[in-house]
A and B are shown apart, each in its own frame.
Chain A
Amino acid sequence: MRIKIALAGNPNSGKTTLFNALTGSNQFVGNWPGVTVEKKEGGLKGHKDVTLTDLPGIYSLSPYTLEEVVARNYLLKEKPDAILNIVDGTNLERNLYLTTQLLELGIPVVVAVNMMDVVNKNGDKIHVKKLAEELGCEVVEISALKGTGIKEAANRAVALAEQKKAMKSVHTFSSRIEEALNAIEAKLPDSVPEEQRRFFAIKLFERDDKVKEQLKPVPDVEDIVTAAEEELDDDSESIITNERYTFISSIITDCYTKKSKNKQTISDKIDRIVTNRWLALPIFAVVMFVVYFVSVTTVGTILTDWTNDGLFGDGWHLLDIGAAEYADASDAYSLERTKIDAYLAAAEESGIDVEAVTEALDPETENPDASAVTAFEEEAAAAGIEGTAEIYNDEGEIEETFPVSLEDFQTAAQAEEPDPANYGVWVPGLPGLIKSGLESINCAPWLEGLILDGIVAGVGAVLGFVPQMLVLFIFLAFLESCGYMARIAFIMDRIFRKFGLSGKSFIPMLIGTGCGIPGVMASRTIENERDRRMTIMTTTFIPCGAKLPIIALIAGALFHNAWWVAPSAYFVGIAAIVVSGIILKKTKMFSGEPAPFVMELPAYHWPTVGNVLRSMWERGWSFIKKAGTVILLSTIFIWFVSNFGVVDGQFQMVEDLSDGLLAVIGRFIAPIFSPLGWGEWRASVAAITGLVAKENVVGTFGILYGFAEVAENGWEIWGTLSSSFTGLSAYSFLVFNLLCAPCFAAMGAIKREMNSAKWFWFAIGYQTIFAYLVSMCVYQIGMLVTAGSFGVATVISLIVLVAFFYLLFRPYKESQRLEKEVRV
C-alpha cells in the first residue's frame, strides 16, 4: 500500500534541498488544486511505494497566507501517514513554533534538525535525545546540503508511517486553557476524527475562520473563548501564541547550548559593514558596478567577440592555431587596400573617373575587368597622381600618414586577400556554412536572403550576447544564493521609506533583474494596494536580462566598450525607480504611510557551484529558447516587411531597404523620436520591435544595419551607424529602451496584477512618457552643454526638467483624512 509522507518546514530551512536529495529525479511538479501554489511530489529513493509531498514553506498553520492554508488543508484532508518536519538548527526557536502545531495534528512526526554542519562549526550543541523527549517525537540530526543523516530521517519517517499509529501531542497549555480546550473538544461534531480533535479545538479557540468552514455544524464556543480571554486579559490568539513560545523557550534552555551567547556570527560581522548606515549604499553601488562592468565590458566582451566574429561571423582558428600568422597577413593586406583607397581618392579628387577601376579592384567582383585597371594606371601616370594614406588606431585617430605612388598602387593591386583557411585549423562560421549549403542546392536568392540576412543576422545578433548574459547571470545567482540580495532590500528600505515606500517594494525589482515577469508577480507580497500598484509600475525600470544585449550593443559598438556605460544603465534604472517613487507618492493617487517591513535575513553562506551554474544555465537557456522562437518569428516578419515594398506601383522585393514597407512605416513614426536625437527610421523601428521582446532591438539592428555592423565594436562601424547615432543620441536611445514599456509578456503580467484596464494603461502610459521625457532631456540638454545647440526641443526639455525638480522637491502632503468623534 502506498505511503504518503509530507515534508513541512519554514521557508529557508533547507526543505527544497532535502526534497531534491530524497527524491532525485523522481519528482513531478504540478499545482495545488484551485491555487497557483506549486505542488511537488516525488518518489522516495530506495522505497518503492513511498511518495514524498513537499508542502509550501510556512511559519505556522495559521490561516493568513495562501501557503499556510494549502499546507493545512493537505494535512487535514489528505492525512499523510507521517510528517517529516525540517527545522533549521541555527534558528531552532523560530522553527519549533510550526513543530508544536504539527504535533497537534495527530499525524506521526519526525523532526529533522537541519544545518547541523553549521551548528557544529559554530561550536553549538543540540541535545537531540532531550529534544525528542520534550517534543514527544523522534528527532534526527541532518545536513541536507552535505547529505548527512537524510536517509536515516527518511527511514524513520517511513517506519513511523508503516506503524499507522496516531500521535498524541505531549505539550499542554496552562490549566485554564486546557479547561477551555476540553470544553470546546466536547462540542466538536463526531465527524472530526479523534486524533484531530485537539487541533480543531485549539483553532476554534483562536477563532480561526478557515477551520470553521470545514466543520459542519460549527459549534458555538464564543462564550468559552470570551470567558478565557477575560480571565487571562488577552485575546485568544495571543494567549495560545505566548504559551507556545513559553514552551519553546523552556525546550531551548534544556536542549540547546550555545558556545558563546554573546558571540557574533560571521554573518553578523559581515552585516555590520554591509548594512552599515553609511557604507551600505556605496558598497551596493560598487558591487553592482563590478557585476555589470565585468559582465558586459571585460570578461563578457571577450566571449561575445568570439561568438560574433567567429561562430556567427567568418569563423575562427581552432585553439588559435594559425591565428597570429593570419592576423599578420591580414594586416599586411589591409595596408595594401588602404594604399589603393588612398590612391583612388587622390585620383578622383583630380577629376579622374575611378568607378570602373574601383569595381575591378573590389575583391567581391567576379571576373574583374583588367583593362579598366590598365587604363586607369595610364591616366594616373599621365596626371602624375600621388596619394596620401592614413592609418587609424582603434579609437579612430590618425596614427600614421605616408605617400602612395603609382608603383605602390600597382604593387598593392596585385595583393591577394589571405584565406584564413590556409593558416592553421580554420573553423568556418555558421553564416558561411549556411551560405555554401544554400548555394550548393541552388536556393532562390530571396530565400537565401531571408535565411542569411534575416534569420541568421537577426537571431545571430541576439545570440551573440549570450556569453555576456551568462556571466551576468553567474554574478546574480551568486549574489542571490550567498544572501547578499536579501540585504539589498533591507538597505534600500531606508531610502524607500523617505518617499513613502518600504524595502518590500524593492524585492520585486531585485527579482526583475532576471526577468520582469516574476518581478511584477512578486508585488503580490505588498499588502497596501497603492504601494503595490506603484511597485508594479516601476519594477520594469530595472534592466532585465533581455535588455542586456541593448546595453552591450550600445556600450560596445557605439562607446568602444567605455567602462561606465553598462553600470550606468543599471543605475539609471534605480534612479528612475527612486524618482518615480518620490513623484508618485506625492500624488493623491499614491499617498499614504509606508507599510512596515519585516524580513528574515538568511545567514551568509558560500553557494554551491552546482546551484549557481544551474541558475545561470536556466536563465541563459530561457534566453536562447526565446531567441529560437519569439525572436526568430520576429526576424522573419521584419525581414519581409523591410525587403518588400511598393516600387513603381508594384509590390515586390526591393534593392534598397529604404524602399521597403518597414522603412515607409518607420519614416512615418520617426519624427516622434527626433527630439530624442534618433529620429531615423531604423532606430525608430528597432525601438518599436522591442515591445515584442527587448532582444528584438538588437535583432532588428542586425537586419537593418547588417550583422557585421552590429557585431563590430571598433570605430569602423561609425561609417554606417554615425548616420543614425552620435554618442549622445546613442545614450538617449539606450535610456529610452531601458525605461519605456516592457515587452508584451511583461505587459501581460502587469495587466493581470493590476486587474484593471484603467490601471494597466496608466502604467504603460506612465512608463512610456517617462522614458520619452527622460531621453529627450538627456539628448537636448546634453546637446546644449556639449554643442551649444538650442531650439524648441531644448526649451521643452528645460521646462520638463524644471517640472521634474518641482515634483521631486515639492512638500509632501498626506492625503486628506476623515476624522470623526465616536462615543463608545
Chain B
Amino acid sequence: MEFLANNWGSLLVGAILLVVVGSIVLRQIKNHKQGKSSCGRGCSNCPMEGKCHK
C-alpha cells in the first residue's frame, strides 16, 4: 500500500504510456493486416488514387 501511495504518479503515467503504446502497436498491426497503405495519407488528391492500395 505504501508503495502505491508513494508511486501513484509514476504508476499512472506508466499506465497511460503503456495504453498509448499498446494501442499504437495494435492499430499498426490491424492496418497491416487490412492491407492499408503505409503512406498514411488520404487518396483524394493523390495521382495514384484508386490504383495504389485498398
Contacts and interface: CB of A to CB of B under 8 A. Distances in A.
B48 interface: yes
Given A37-B51, A443-B13, A521-B52, A611 B45 contact: yes
B54 A31 contact: yes
A37 B40 CA distance: 18
Contacts of B13: 438, 441, 443, 447, 451
Interface stretch (A120-128, A463-471, A621-629): A621-629
Contact of B51 (A29, A36, A615, A630): A36
B47 A36 contact: no
Interface string B14-36: 10010011001101100000000
Contacts of A31: 54
Given A441-B9, A441-B13, A622 B40 contact: yes
A511 B25 contact: no
A619 interface: yes
A443 B41 contact: no
A24 interface: no
Given A442-B10, A480-B47, A745 B41 contact: no
Nearest to A442: B9
Chain B at the A interface: SS class: loop
A611 B51 CA distance: 20
B10 A626 contact: no
Nearest to B46: A518
B48 A622 contact: no
A447 B13 CA distance: 8
Contact of B24 (A515, A521, A611, A633): A633
Nearest to B27: A629
Contact of A38 (B7, B24, B43, B45): B43
A611 B44 CA distance: 10
Contacts of B41: 514-515, 618-619, 621-622
Contacts of A451: 13, 17
Could you say which interface size class chain B belongs to? Answer: 20 to 34
B11 to A, nearest CB: 9
Given A444-B10, A636-B21, A618 B48 contact: no
A614 interface: yes
Given A31-B54, A632-B24, A633-B24, A518 B10 contact: no
Interface in A433-455: 438, 441-444, 447, 450-451
A619 B41 CA distance: 6
B7 A444 contact: yes
B28 A629 contact: yes
B39 A622 contact: yes
A522 B48 contact: yes
A38 B50 contact: yes
A477 interface: yes
Chain A at the B interface: SS class: helix
Contacts of A514: 41, 46
Given A441-B12, A441-B13, A745 B51 contact: no
Contacts of A667: none
Given A37-B51, A632-B24, A633-B25, A515 B39 contact: yes
Contacts of A748: 38
Interface in A520-553: 521-522, 524
A625 B44 CA distance: 18
Most buried by B among A511, A518, A623: A518
Nearest to A743: B38
A517 interface: yes
A36 B39 contact: no
A514 B39 CA distance: 9
Nearest to A744: B38
A622 B42 contact: yes
B15 to A, nearest CB: 11
Interface string A504-521: 000100110011011001
Contacts of B51: 36-38, 521-522, 524
A56 interface: yes
A480 B48 CA distance: 13
Contacts of A56: 50
Interface in A598-635: 611, 614-615, 618-619, 621-623, 625-626, 628-630, 632-633
A511 B37 CA distance: 15
Nearest to A632: B24
Nearest to B37: A517
Contacts of B8: 441
Contacts of B45: 477, 480, 611, 614-615, 618
A511 B10 contact: no
Interface string A67-102: 100000000000000000000000000000000000
A447 B40 contact: no
A13 to B, nearest CB: 15
Interface in A613-664: 614-615, 618-619, 621-623, 625-626, 628-630, 632-633, 636
Given A37-B51, A38-B49, A511-B47, A633 B21 contact: yes
A9 to B, nearest CB: 14
Contacts of B28: 629-630
B24 A518 contact: no
A536 to B, nearest CB: 14
B39 A745 contact: yes
Contacts of B7: 442, 444
Contact of A629 (B24, B39, B50): B24
Contacts of A619: 41
A518 B48 contact: yes
Contacts of A628: 24
Contacts of A521: 48, 51-53
B39 A517 contact: yes
Contact of B39 (A443, A444, A477, A518): A518
A794 B38 CA distance: 40
B31 to A, nearest CB: 10
A21 B53 CA distance: 25
Given A67-B50, A515-B41, A518-B48, 18 more contacts: A29-B43, A31-B54, A56-B50, A441-B8, A442-B10, A447-B13, A510-B47, A517-B38, A518-B37, A522-B48, A524-B51, A615-B45, A618-B41, A622-B39, A622-B42, A626-B40, A632-B21, A748-B38
16 contacts: A16-B44, A38-B50, A441-B10, A441-B13, A442-B9, A444-B10, A447-B14, A480-B45, A480-B47, A511-B47, A511-B48, A515-B39, A518-B46, A521-B51, A611-B45, A622-B40
Interface of B: 6-10, 12-14, 17, 20-21, 24-25, 27-28, 37-54
9 tightest CB-CB pairs across the interface, nearest first? A441-B9, A38-B50, A745-B38, A622-B41, A615-B45, A622-B40, A518-B48, A517-B39, A444-B10
